[in-house]
Amino acid sequence: KATVVNFSEKALDVKAKTLNIKVGKTSKIKVFAMPSDNITFESSNKKIATVSTKGVVKGLKKGKVTITVKANGKTAKVKVVVK
């Protein structure tokens, strides 16, 4: 038997607050958002790492960046270290 849970609050959470990736490699930011229809991703430095509209981060050169995830009026940050 299924249980129905009413959830009236808007939510945003990311699974990992830190990602370590190598130059030339990619990693996906896992996001939980309710509702999940309008999630955006933004890199603090596109010369070090880029992020797609689906949350796939690509390391371009060594360094540190912050990926800002926004949804439902909430913001989460993911620190990315490119090695």
State the pLDDT confidence band at 7, using cuts at 50, 70 and 90.
Answer: low
- Summarised one tens digit per residue, pLDDT across range 22-81 is 999 999 999 988 887 789 999 999 999 999 999 999 999 999 999 999 998 899 999 999
Tokens standing for residue 33: 């958002």
What percentage of the chain's residues is helix, strand, coil (to nearest 5)? 0, 55, 45
Q: Which residues contact 2 (CB under 8 A, 6 or more apart)?
A: none
